[in-house]
Structure 1
Amino acid sequence: MILEDTIVALASAPGSGAIALIRVSGPDAINFTAPVFEAKNKVSLREQPSHTLQLGFIKKDQRIIDESLVSVFKGTRSYTGENTVEISCHGSPFIQQEIINLLLQQGCRAAQAGEFTLRAFLNGKMELSQAEAVADLIASDNAASHQLAMQQMRGGFASEIKSLRQELLNFASLIELELDFSEEDVEFANRDQFQALILKIQKTLSRLIDSFAVGNVLKNGIPVAIVGEPNVGKSTLLNSLLNEDRAIVSDIAGTTRDTIEDEIAIGGVGFRFIDTAGIRETQDKIEGLGIKKTFQKMEQAQIVVYLFDAQKVKNDNLSLQQVKVEVEKIKNQFPGKPLLIIANKTDVLDPQLKAEFSSALPDVLLLSAKEKEGVEQLEEKLLQFVNTGALKSNDAIVTNSRHYDALLKAQKEINNVQEGMNIGLTGDLLAIDIREALYHFGSISGEVSPDDLLGNIFANFCIGK
C-alpha cells in the first residue's frame, strides 16, 4: 500500500440497492472529485466547508452519470484522519462502477481491503485493537457479539493494558537508568513499589486470559452437540430449534450419517447446533464414520444435549436405568462439560409416567420435538449454561485470538520478572524480560506494529472499510 496517495472504493454492500456509498480518501480526495461534480448551487467542492453536503450531478464530460449527494470532510476531522469525500449515489451497479472509473481516471487508486481503517489507525484516529473491533462489528450477527465488538470499539481492555504498560515503562526507565550508575550502586526504582505493580499486572493478565474462554464462544457461537441413539428425534429437534426443515427426518434408523450444523440466536447469544449421527453398534462403514465424527463433535462442543426416546421406555422395555448408564458414560468421557438430558416424544406419555421420569432423572427435560413442546424450556436451560455475567456487568472480555496470544506471552515475561526479583537478579537481567513484556503489551494497542502484522490484520477486512 502507498499511504500518501488518494484511494477510492465502494463502501456499501455490492449489488443493486436504493442507495450506494462511494468513499474517497487521501490528500487529493477533494481535488480529484471536484472536476466531476457539479453542485446545484454552483459552489465548487473545493470551497465547500468541512462536514457539509451538496446535491448535484456527477458528470463525465457533459454527460450526467447520476444525481448524487456529496459530503466533504477536511483535514483530520474524518474517519481516516485525512481529506475524505463520500458520494451517495443511486444503487445501480452500473452507476457505481461508472463513478469509480471516473475517479480512477482523475488519479485515485482502488483501495485495498481494510485500507481506510488502516489509515485511521496510522493517523491516530483509533488504536489497533479498536481497528480490529471494526471487523468484528461488521461480522456481528447477534446481540452478544455486537456488544463485545462495541465494547472493544470503545477501548475495551486495551485501555487497561495501555495504562499498565505505561506504569511498567516508567519503572523500566528507572531500572535502565540504574545501569548507567552501576559503579555507584544506586537504586532509582523502588523495589517494593515495583513488586506491587508486578502483582497488579499478574492479576489483570490472569483475569483477561480467563475471559477469553467466554469471549471466544460468545463471539463465534456456542457449539452444542445433539447426541443420542438413532431415531430418537435429534434431527427433529434441530429443525424445531431452527424453525425450518434443515435436517432430513425419517423413521429409518441411521438417517443422519454426517454432522449437520446451523446457528441461531437465543436471548441475544449465538448457539451453533450440531446434529450428529446416532450412536449404536453398526457394521455399516459409512455410518461408523458418522458415529466416530459424533464423538469428535462432542469433544469440540461447549454443551452436550443427550436425547432418548421416551416412547421406548413406555413400549419397548427400555429401562430408565439403561438411560442413566448411557448418561454416566458421557459424563465420564467428558467430565466437566455441561450435559443436558432430554426425554423426547413425551407428548404421548401419561402424567404418572412423566412423574416417574422426573423422579428417576431429576435433571431431565421432558420435550416433544415434533410438537415443539418444551423447546422454549430447552432454550432457557441452554442460556443458564452460558456465563454472560461478565458481559452483563460490562467487564472487559478478550475475544481476539491474537490478543489472547499476546497476553499469554506477556504473562510469561512478567512471571519471569517476578522470579528474577525473588532470586535477586540484577537490573540488567530484569530489564530483558521487562522489554519483552512491554513489546507484547504494545502489540495489542498498536504501539508496536510491524508491517507484516498490519498486513495480516487488515487483509481480513472488506474493501471500502
Structure 2
Amino acid sequence: MSFSLQEKEDTIVALATPQGVGAIAVIRLSGKDAVRITKKVFKGKDLEEQPSHTIHFGTIRDGDRIIDEVLVSLFIAPRSFTKENVVEISTHGSSYIVSQVIKLLIRQGARPAKPGEFTQRAFLNGQFDLAQAEAVADLIHSDSEASHQAALSQMRGGFSDEIKSLREQLIHFASMIELELDFTEEDVEFASRNDLKVLVEKLLRVVEQLIGSFDLGNVIKNGVPTVIAGKPNAGKSTLLNALLNEEKAIVSDIAGTTRDFIEDEINIGGVIFRFIDTAGLRETTDTIEAIGVSRTQEKMKTASLILYLFDLSDTDMVEINRDVNKLENLGVPFVKVANKTDKSNKLFISELNNKHPDTIFISAGLKENLDALRNKILELVNLDKFRTGNTIVTNIRHYDSLVKTRESLLDVLQGLDDQVTNDFLAMDIRRSLHYLGEITGEITTDDLLANIFSKFCIGK
C-alpha cells in the first residue's frame, strides 16, 4: 500500500469505531478540505468559522432529507492526530446511518481511507516516528495490562528515545571519520580510535540488552504458550475448566477423552497465558489417540511453559521422578502440579513435598489452591525488567534491525582491531546507522511503509 502525491493531498474518510450496531459511531475525516466538506452536509454553526477543539450539535442532511442528529468535533491543523484538518462526526450507531453519511461525504469530495492511512499521515507529517506509529496498532490490540503498558510506553517514545540516543552518539564519530577521508594526504585524525572502540562497546551492551528483552516482549505481546501435560485422567481438562471458570473441555472418567489439544487464553496478573489442554501422555493402540499423544509431545517442545499435572492417587514416586527427569532434559520451564489432594494419602503428600518442595498441590475438581498455582506460573515469567520501566522490545521488525545493528557494530570492532582503513570503517558504521534508522523511520522505503500500515484497521 503506497500513496501517490495526489492521494496524500486527498481528504480521506472512514468509520473510526468498530463495525456493527452500537450507541454511537464515529466517522473521521482528515485532509485540508475536511472542514469544508463536512460543512456542505452539516446544518448548524458555520464550521469554517469555529476554533479548533470544539464540538458542535446539528444535523447531517442530504439536501432537505435529515440523515441524523450528530455532534461534530473539530481539530484544526496542525493541532490534530494527523497534523491535518480532522473532523470527527458522532452519529447514532446504526450501520445504515453510517453508510449513508460516508457515502454523502464521498459525494462531496472525500475518498475512502486505506488501512492505516490516518496513522501513516501522522507519521509522514512528523507527529511521531515509525516505532511510535507501530505502537498505535499494538495499543489497539492490547488485551492485557502488560501488553497495554508496553505499547503505551513505546507510543510515548520510550523505545524511540533510546534508539535515537544510540544513533546520535554514533553519528558524531561517523562524521569525524568521513571528515578524515577528505584529509587522507594530511594524515589528520579527527576521531580517536580508542574513543570509538569504547563507544561501540557501550552501544553493543545496550543493543544486546534490547535484543535480550525480545523474549519477554514477545510473551507480553502474544501471550505465553503454556501446555498442560500429564497422564490420561490426571485432571488436565478439569484444571483448564477451573482456570477458565467455564466448561471448555470435556471432562470424563474415561481415560483418553481428549484426543487433540484444546486452547484458550487466560489473563493472570496482567499477562495473557495461552493454555493448551493436551491429550494424555501414555502408550496407546488407539490410532486417533496416538496422533493426539504425538501432537502433545510436539506442543511441549515449542511451549514457553509446561504444567506437569499428575494424579496423587494414581502416581508413584518412581513415575514422578522419571517424568521430571524427562522434562528437565526437554529444557522448557515447567511447574510440578500435584492434583486431587482431596483423594490422596497424606503420607505420600508429605514424602513428595520433601523430595520435590517446589510442587504445587491442588484439587482442580474442588478449585482448591489455584491461586498458589497462578502465582507460581506468574513467577516463572520474569516481569521484573518490565515492571522497573526498562525498555522492552515487542516488535519482530525492531528485533531484526537490532540483530543487524549488532552484527554491524561487531564488524566495526573487528575493523578497529584489524586496523582497517577509514573507508571500510565508515562503511560498517553507516550500516549500523542504517539499521537503527530503520526502527524509527529515519530510513524507510515505500515497501516497508506499505507493509507496516497495511496491517492497521481502516479508520486508524
The TM-score with structure 2 as length reference comes to 0.97
Name the SS for the 2:313 alignment partner: helix
Counterpart residue number, 2:378 = 383
CA distance in 2, matches of 1:343, 1:54: 63
Would you say the 8 A contact 2:261–2:296 is kept in 1?
A: yes
Moved over 3 A (4+): 350-353
The corresponding residue for 1:24 is 29
Q: Using the TM superposition, name which of 184-193 and 409-418 deviates more.
A: 184-193
Note the C-alpha offset of 1:354.
Answer: 2.5
Indicate the residue corresponding to 1:408 in structure 2.
403
Q: Which residue is 1:331 aligned to?
A: 328
- Cα deviation for residue 361 of structure 1 reads 2.6
Q: Is the 8 A contact 1:65 1:99 kept in 2?
A: yes
Which string of whole-angstrom CA distances, capped at 9 and with x for unpartnered residues, describes residues 94-149 of structure 1? Answer: 11111100000001010011100000000000110000001110111111111111
CA distance in 2, matches of 1:359, 1:173: 64
Q: Deviations over 1:34-83 (max 9, x none)?
A: 110011xxx31111111111111111101111111101111111000101
SS class of match (2:158)? coil
What is the match of residue 241 of structure 1?
A: 243
Counterpart of 2:297, as a letter, is F
Aligned-pair distance for 1:156? 2.3
Residue pairs, 1:390-401, within 5 angstroms: 390-401=385-396
Report the Cα distance in structure 2 between the residues aligned to 1:361 and 1:199, rounded to whole angstroms: 43
User: Cα offset for 1:288?
Assistant: 1.5
Q: Which residue of 1 aligns with 2:78?
A: 76
Q: CA RMSD in A?
A: 1.1
> What corresponds to 1:112 in structure 2?
114
Is the CA contact 2:280–2:293 (under 8 Å) kept in the aligned structure 1? yes
Equivalence for 2:285: 283
Q: Deviations over 1:255-313 (max 9, x none)?
A: 11111110111111111101111111112222121111111111111111111111114
User: 1:272 aligned to 264, 271, 274, which one?
Assistant: 274
Partner of 1:425: 420
Q: Judge conservation of contact 2:313–2:345 (CA < 8 Å) in 1.
A: no
Q: Which residue of 1 aligns with 2:15?
A: 10
CA distance in 2, matches of 1:170, 1:221: 40
2:296 paired residue number: 294
Aligned to 2:213: 211
1:32-181 paired onto structure 2 within 5 Å: 32-39=37-44, 43-181=45-183
Displacement, 1:357?
A: 2.7
SS at match of 1:187: coil
The 2-side partners of 1:55 and 1:373 are apart by: 56
Q: How many residues align structurally? A: 455
Measure the CA separation in 2 of the matches of 1:101 and 1:197. 57
Assess if the C-alpha contact under 8 Å between 1:114 and 1:463 holds in 2: yes
Alpha carbons of 1:170 and 1:360: their partners in 2 closer, same or farther (altered >3 Å)? closer
1:25 is aligned with what amino acid?
S
State the alpha-carbon separation in 1 of the partners of residues 294 and 158 from structure 2: 41
Q: Distance in 1 between matches of 2:320 and 2:201?
A: 49
Amino acid at match of 2:27: I
Q: Aligned partners of 1:395, 1:236: CA distance in 2, in Å?
A: 38
1:366 paired with 2:355, answer: no
Could you tell me which residue of structure 1 aligns to residue 263 of structure 2?
A: 261
Compare 191-200 and 85-94 and name the one that shifted more: 191-200
Shift of 1:362: 2.0
- Alignment partner, residue 321 of structure 1: 318
Q: CA offsets, 1:312-340, max 9 Å, x none?
A: 14xxxxx21222112112212x12x2221
Secondary structure, aligned partner of 2:273: strand
Q: How far is 1:216 from its partner?
A: 0.6
Distance 2:9 2:179 in 1: 39
Q: Structure 2 CA distance, aligned partners of 1:216 and 1:226?
A: 21
| Residues 389-443 of structure 1 deviation map (CA, whole Å, 9 limit, x = unaligned) | 1111010000000000000001000100010011101110111111111110000
Instruction: Quote the Cα distance in structure 2 between the aligned partners of 1:156 and 1:236.
Output: 43
Letter in 1 for 2:426: A
Could you tell which deviates more after superposition, 351-360 or 222-231?
A: 351-360
Matched AA of 1:435: R
Aligned to 1:226: 228
Q: Which sits farther off after the overlay, 206-215 or 151-160? A: 151-160
Between 400-409 and 349-358, report the one with greater CA deviation.
349-358
CA shift, 1:351, in A, is 3.5
Letter in 2 for 1:45: L
Question: d(CA) in 2 for partners of 1:360 and 1:398?
Answer: 39
2:459 is the alignment partner of 1:464: yes
Query: Equivalents in 2 of 1:360, 1:439: separation in Å?
Result: 55
Alignment partners' CA distance in 2, 1:365 and 1:174:
60
Gaps of 5+ in 2: none
Q: CA deviation at 1:188?
A: 1.3
Structure 2 residue identity aligned to 1:142: S
In 1, the alpha carbon distance for the partners of 2:415 and 2:160 equals: 27
Partner of 1:316: none
Farther off after superposition, 126-135 or 158-167:
158-167
Partner SS, residue 19 of structure 2: coil
Give the superposition deviation at 1:219.
Answer: 1.2
CA distance in 2, matches of 1:58, 1:84: 17
Task: Supply the distance in 2 between the matched residues of 1:312 and 1:264 (Cα, whole angstroms).
Answer: 28
Letter in 2 for 1:271: F
- 1:157 counterpart SS class: helix
Where 1:230 maps in the other structure, the secondary structure is coil
- Separation of aligned partners in 1, 2:290 and 2:345: 36
SS in 2 for 1:250: coil
Q: Secondary structure at the residue paired with 2:24? A: strand
Distance 1:45 1:194 in 2: 57
Give yes or no for the alignment of 1:451 onto 2:439: no
Alpha-carbon offset, residue 350 of structure 1: 4.7
Between the aligned partners of 1:414 and 1:229, the Cα distance in structure 2 is 50
**1:191 paired to 2:190:** no
